[in-house]
Structure 1
Amino acid sequence: MSADAIQPIRFLLSDMDGTLLLPDHSLSQRTIEAVRALREAGVFFSLATGRPPRAMLQQIEALGVDVPTAGFNGGTLVNPDGSILVAHHLPAEAALITLALLCEQPEVEVWVFAEGDWLLRDPTGPMVPREQQGLGYAPVVVESFEPVLGRIDKIVAASANAQLLIDLEAQLQPKVAGLAQVSRSQPVYLDITAMQANKGDALKTLAAHLGVALEQTAAIGDGGNDPAMFQVAGLSIAMGQAEEAVKRQADVVTGSNLEDGAAQAIERFILHSQ
């Protein structure tokens, strides 16, 4: 579907890391102004990210987001007042299968998000400082993940070996088919969430909540977890630095996050058509 085919867009759902945010996790002034212009034009704007809701608060405030947002790839939808609109936990069976595979990998750091906390067994992992900077809070060190089985929001395999994560994604998907979603939110992160925890379902739920037809929605992102919302949105936009497989599933491609690609897309494809 072409960018000109859907007019006007009434709701934009955006990824965060690699899309709205610069590599240092900050927001550019141009992006902030573009989102403000969207809202002033009467277009709803929200966030869909692999991050926990707790790690979205700063960006929600900076962007003035006043509608529900989607954390954990859509696994948890949170109202503006912090109350939970929808929550989907990873089935214990899928969690056990996932942990058994990932914990065998010496190059992989295994993180579990549950009950508002970021849990891990080894706080000295090389990926921990990056994640702590991005989330804005420290992990909780545990001896075992067993006490939170059945209440897990997301499991993350983190590794600087991007090819290893591609291989693990292929190995894990058939093992948890029908039980869990497996996708790389970034080249260094492999996310495992509940089946209902995907950005496509999040877009459907948020659009219905806001009273917006799917044909009048837009989605923008850069990661392997973003095509789920591309397939649902009236207009889908991939970031310039996204992998080719992601770009091919979008209607249009904008600049990279280093080029304020999200702001470019808002200005060109949404505000221009209002």
Structure 2
Amino acid sequence: MTIRLIALDIDDTLLSSARKILPSTKQAVQAALSQGIKVVLCTGRPLAGVQPFLDELGITGDDQYVITYNGAVIESAAGRVVARHLLDNQAYREITALGKKLGLPTNVLDEHSNIYTADRDVDWWIVEQAAENEAGLFIRDPDELPATFAIAKGAFVGPQALLDQNEPKVRAALGERFYVVRAGRYFLEVMDPLVNKGQALRDLAAVLALSTEDIMAVGDEGNDIAMFDVAGLPVAMGNGTAEAKAHAKVVTGTNDEGGLAAAIRQYALR
């Protein structure tokens, strides 16, 4: 197996617990790029929220790629869209209505990195999400937006206990028609049923004429499992969930002890 593409989750994988890229990680990623290996950030964030990390790592241009919104959009680092799968206005309304019914803080993201919520008392998690991703934040009821308004994903956010309590209800209401995934302790996301990091990775491999056997995927959470099931070499972070580790072939060190850099050096660099 020769690794030709490395797919990297961002939060708690590329980033340390201090939300920084370790020097060892940066060195390993840049070494991979210098050997012609594609390094693709695969994240639930929009491109605007990924751009600072792309810049720091030196991933630039129209021949480098990023998978955003958990797979809803595949685009080049220069912003050229390769593929997109959006949810229509009816889905947006249904997600918003369910959030109100369950008392869950709810927001949706359009493909332009803007966040919309119908919650007049905006939850702290939504505000942080907007700030972290350099996104616009708009308080709008569905009737205030055009019938053509489409979204890349919906998200229920809040304390872990609140999401733990309501996740079965969300899955029961939406799970048969949408892709519902726990993207982290504080995020439960809803997307097009064709969307996940694994499908996006498979689609990008086809564009690049790569075998999925030559892909190494590194992550830590439930939303990374789909790409683990596609990649020839799935690697879970030491700080990852038990579920993620169960789907990996390799478990490396944690995000605070250089686990990502160690995995890249051991399995990808020539």
User: Normalising to structure 1: TM-score of the pair?
Assistant: 0.88
Amino acid at match of 1:16: I
- Give the whole-Å Cα distance in 2 for the aligned partners of 1:78 and 1:213: 19
Contact 1:46 1:68 in 2 (8 A): yes
Contact 1:169 1:182 in 2 (8 A): no
Residue aligned with 1:226, SS: helix
Amino acid at match of 1:37: A
Which residue pairs with 2:3 in the alignment? Answer: 9
1:169-248 to 2 correspondence within 5 Å? 169-248=167-246
Residue aligned with 1:37, SS: helix
Tell me which of 95, 112, 115 is aligned to 2:108: 112
The offset of 1:267, in angstroms, is 1.5
Report the identity percentage.
Answer: 29
Contact 1:255 1:262 in 2 (8 A): yes
Tell me which of 22, 27, 31 is aligned to 1:28: 22
Residue aligned with 2:59, SS: coil
Contact 1:110 1:157 in 2 (8 A): yes
- Give the whole-Å Cα distance in 2 for the aligned partners of 1:232 and 1:191: 21
Contact 1:240 1:261 in 2 (8 A): yes
- Give the whole-Å Cα distance in 2 for the aligned partners of 1:44 and 1:101: 39
- Give the whole-Å Cα distance in 1 for the aligned partners of 2:121 and 2:33: 41
Residue aligned with 1:18, SS: helix
Q: Which moved more, 1:130-139 or 1:68-77?
A: 130-139
The offset of 1:26, in angstroms, is 2.2
Contact 1:94 1:180 in 2 (8 A): no
Q: How many equivalent residue pairs?
A: 264
Residue aligned with 2:231, SS: coil
Deviation string 1:153-175 (CA, Å, 9 cap, x unpaired) is 11111111x13323433222243
Alpha carbons of 1:257 and 1:145: their partners in 2 closer, same or farther (altered >3 Å)? farther
Higher RCO (C-alpha 8 Å, min separation 6): 1
The offset of 1:29, in angstroms, is 1.5
Structure 1 residue runs of 5 or longer lacking an equivalent are: 1-6
Q: How well do the aligned residues superpose, as a CA RMSD in angstroms?
A: 2.0
Residue aligned with 2:263, SS: helix
User: Are 2:49 and 1:49 aligned?
Assistant: no
- Give the whole-Å Cα distance in 2 for the aligned partners of 1:122 and 1:254: 43
Which residue pairs with 2:152 in the alignment? Answer: 153
- Give the whole-Å Cα distance in 2 for the aligned partners of 1:235 and 1:179: 30
Amino acid at match of 1:84: V
Q: Which runs of 4+ in 1 moved over 3 A?
A: 91-97, 121-124, 143-146
